[in-house]
Amino acid sequence: MESHKDSRLASFFEPRGVAVIGSMREWGEGYTVIRNILDFGFSGRIYPVSRSSAQVLGIKAYPTVNDVNDPVDLAVLVTPSPTVLGLVEECGKKGITAVIVVTEGFAEAGPDGAILQRQLVETARRYGVRLLGPNTLGVLDTDNGLVTGPYFHSGNKPPGGGIGYCSQTGLLTFGVYPIKDKAFPISKMCDFGNKCDVNELDLLPFLADDPRIKVITMHLEDIRHGQKFMEVAKQAVARKPVLILKPGCSEVGARAASSHTGSLAGDDRVYENAFRQAGVIRLKTWQEFWEIPRTLSMQPLPRGNRIAIITATGGAGVLLTDTAVESGLVPAAFAANTRAHLERLSPRLARNPVDVGPLMSVLESPFSIYDQVVPVVLADSNVDCAAIVCHLGPPIVKVFSELVHRLSSIAKPITIFGYGINLHEMEDSARQLEAMGFPTYLDLESAAKALGVGAAYSRIRAKLETQA
């Protein structure tokens, strides 16, 4: 709504100090927010605001925000809804320009809530305050450890990474997904909640500007200001991939969406066309939303859409080829010298998918076949990307730890689909491979889809560069 190069946006993610206003009794909402912030190791200052406590979790508390003398850039409100309006005004008077309203009970709750929400927006405007929410879990920034969720999520601090991530539902944020256990490579995450002020028009340029962010993903139940969205989205797409999960494809889905956050979802074809024109890549499922950005954040973009598949089981090669083709990829035809190299290893190997399974079953050291095949295939000038199928366990981790520098110098994207019989060992190995930069999936389809999305973005980018 406001100008989209707004310095106040940075205060939501990188405030020097954050005031937390809410119940400070043990496990009250304000207390829990502070527990989470401390737990994630926030590098800025924290100011609990409480009339009843002199200190909270060892931190000095203040009766009102006005009593804080240091600079406060962000306030987090987790108080009952009738108190929020007055507190936003207090924040405005104090000069706080970014306020997260975690509190529920606004437009999503019915007509009275909608009126209260409008008043909130008017008050915020009057004081030059930007609002995130209401009805939001707020933000997460892995760079400085800021997190504002009102549910305790100790131990769920993810590693850093290249994903910038916005959602219009708490379901798709840090409070309800094992982002640490799955090592979700996130830089900044934000829940728009009811989206009364801060929205995709703000976050698209903000995340596009952030050099640590390699891919922007958004879950949006609706998009208002279509013309402005197109403009802002195009500018972001020119700089990095923008992936959007927009549900409500089905008409009944759209009705469910409109009752959830008090917004009106439009005709789906309008969105479909808008996304295509802007170069936004549309995601279709919850699972794609979590899995696909992983590859784009960790791996280089492919220059084209020719995929090599290297697999320890022929059946996976067939299924991956299917999904790859559906995702816009084509199987690469290997160059003569690649075929010659593979034929020297085994006459049946010089095909794509490269089925290394039969050779593995006769080799003294079966996993060494990956050393001999993966770098050669990836270096082939007819190959733009590769999906690798392997047993997930210590041997393949060792192979990739020895290959990591050779592969990164080739600068083409790789995904791994790993199978096995011990789920914990598979997950441990996946995390070790990802710590080396190789996105590793336990479901077959994601390994191909993620490369397809990378190639789709490269095509979009090339088209934009031709037009420019």
Going from the C-alpha of 390 to that of each of 157, 356, 371, 399, the distances in angstroms are 29, 10, 12, 11
Task: Determine if 317 is a binding residue for its own copies (CB under 8 A).
Answer: yes
Residues 216-255 that bind its own copies (CB under 8 A): 219, 221, 247-250, 252-253
* Candidate list 112, 122, 143, 181; residue touching its own copies; CB under 8 A: 181
In whole angstroms, the minimum distance from the beta carbon of 150 to its own copies comes to 9
Residue 361, judged by CB atoms within 10 A of its CB (0-12, 13-18, 19+), counts as: exposed
Task: Determine if 139 is a binding residue for its own copies (CB under 8 A).
Answer: no
- Binding window for its own copies (CB under 8 A); candidates: 202-210, 365-373, 443-451, 455-463: 443-451
* Candidate list 315, 340, 344, 394; residue touching its own copies; CB under 8 A: 315
C-alpha to C-alpha distance for 38 and 154, rounded to whole angstroms: 10
Least Cα distance to 18 among 38, 46, 41 occurs for: 46
CB atoms within 10 A of CB 79: 18
Residue with tokens 């809410």, as numbered in its chain: 22
306 - beta bridge partners? 330
Residue with tokens 């405005």, as numbered in its chain: 92
Residues 258-277 that bind its own copies (CB under 8 A): 259-261
Task: Determine if 394 is a binding residue for its own copies (CB under 8 A).
Answer: no
Residues 374-393 that bind its own copies (CB under 8 A): 391
Element (DSSP H or E) covering residue 219: strand 215-219
* Candidate list 445, 452, 458, 460; residue touching its own copies; CB under 8 A: 445
In whole angstroms, the minimum distance from the beta carbon of 289 to its own copies comes to 9
75 - beta bridge partners? 19, 99
Task: Determine if 348 is a binding residue for its own copies (CB under 8 A).
Answer: yes
Task: Output 43 or 154, the one with its CB closest to its own copies.
Answer: 154
* Under 8 Å between Cβ of 254 and 265: yes
Task: Output 95 or 170, the one with its CB closest to its own copies.
Answer: 170
* Under 8 Å between Cβ of 247 and 253: yes
C-alpha to C-alpha distance for 352 and 306, rounded to whole angstroms: 11
Q: What is the DSSP string of 359-375?
A: HHTT-SSTTHHHHHHHH
Task: Determine if 84 is a binding residue for its own copies (CB under 8 A).
Answer: no
Task: Output 159 or 420, the one with its CB closest to its own copies.
Answer: 420
**Pattern of binders to its own copies over 412-431, x per CB under 8 A?**
-------xxxxxx-xx----
C-alpha to C-alpha distance for 139 and 65, rounded to whole angstroms: 20
* Candidate list 1, 114, 230, 330; residue touching its own copies; CB under 8 A: 330
Task: Determine if 153 is a binding residue for its own copies (CB under 8 A).
Answer: yes
Going from the C-alpha of 185 to that of each of 139, 160, 190, 213, 299, the distances in angstroms are 15, 5, 14, 10, 12
Task: Determine if 322 is a binding residue for its own copies (CB under 8 A).
Answer: yes
Q: Which residues contact 376 (CB under 8 A, 6 or more apart)?
A: 338, 341, 342
* Candidate list 73, 210, 355, 380; residue touching its own copies; CB under 8 A: 355
In whole angstroms, the minimum distance from the beta carbon of 14 to its own copies comes to 24
Task: Output 62 or 275, the one with its CB closest to its own copies.
Answer: 275
Task: Output 402 or 443, the one with its CB closest to its own copies.
Answer: 443
In whole angstroms, the minimum distance from the beta carbon of 330 to its own copies comes to 7
Q: At 216, which amino acid appears?
A: I
- Binding window for its own copies (CB under 8 A); candidates: 5-13, 90-98, 163-171, 396-404: 163-171
* Candidate list 95, 170, 300, 375; residue touching its own copies; CB under 8 A: 170
**Pattern of binders to its own copies over 446-465, x per CB under 8 A?**
--------------------
In whole angstroms, the minimum distance from the beta carbon of 43 to its own copies comes to 22
Residues 16-75 that bind its own copies (CB under 8 A): none
Q: What is the 3-state secondary structure (H, E, C) of 23-55?
A: CCCCCCHHHHHHHHHHHCCCCCEEEEECCCCCE
DSSP code at position 236: H
DSSP code at position 127: T
- Binding window for its own copies (CB under 8 A); candidates: 91-99, 169-177, 207-215, 395-403: 169-177
